[in-house]
Structure 1
């Protein structure tokens, strides 16, 4: 119960990494507002709460590309709970499309979801954090944001921009007691990774092969192990604890050594 009494928002909480982050924060005592675009967030929250000694996961069905709705939800949480201690900007989409086939609609949707929402939700949440002189903001980026992707250039660009935004926020709000960091997951087994497998198999004509993307990426992982949502969630919890108070403006790779910068 290291986070007992803390109030958190986790976006993209309905599956994969976001669901596990929500679960681990709640297990450590935080009250977590679990944001997701899908209505399944309600049943998932009920399931998580069944394993807790209190109702600490509060489902919120929301489209984070709707900035006005997002701001309204933040105001409601502050009015109800009096504060927001933790923001995890996790929600994101991924498309595997060759560079020359990315159209304007795909570009705009990617940047609206993966970057624009991060900026404006941070802007909304940081104001009540500044009033209390404390807060933790963790942005989930990707190792793709460090090295680029020829068949997902818009995704890599959005995640690279999240790293830059993390640094800007860290410079802007560090003196106000707010710690801002990013996490860059690598090969993590999630529904998104399963979709990447299918898409890359189709693009490269390897439909008869299993785990095309996983095997390709795993060949570049020195420890030769795949990651799981819990690996990322554990780092998020650490960044919310007092023990991490001197970690600020950093991008932490959780990738088994795929990237080392």
Structure 2
């Protein structure tokens, strides 16, 4: 059985400059699921993610957390489009930041930091600085920083969009492995149909501004998945279904 975790009802967002970014978004996100928000640039995907995170408030509508007695969890991990690392700090110190802000001493939490780095394959780079890392490695540090508090919910805002295709596919594989082992709820913003089909259990296709959900599609392939899945008839069929829906909505 699936447990409702996040209940969005009639959520709209109008910014102070009058821009209507979201209009009447309603959906339920279940605990432990992997959901992608897919749509063209400017359709409100990132705005919706920030509302879920509590970084901004909706203008109208409600967001409830039924699985946590309607209280938003304190430990929500957020991975932004850019790695946003502190250039003067080591990899270990960058990952330490969320715990440092909670008053935890580095000595006490160092095993926790090293565990987070190990999970993203960077244990040997703890003393390195961001300038010494590739783009993919920087994003791994950002993911480690997000998961160091062991969050039940991980929000990701197009984290791999700026990376080359090979690195992006490798990080997709690593993300799936982490999700399967940690039982997170992942909400992943992307404008890549390929990526959304490969990663997700469910894809919400959003319309251009004002953002609203046009299609709610289930990716019915089982997990775990590997790169061979990208060449299967199921993958091609579901890619075509979502691509056609997105293209129709953009051209309408």
Q: Normalization by structure 1: what TM-score?
A: 0.35
Q: Which has the higher strand share?
A: 2
Q: Which has the higher helix share?
A: 1
Q: Normalization by structure 2: what TM-score?
A: 0.36
Q: More relative contact order in 1 or in 2 (CA 8 Å, sep 6+)?
A: 2
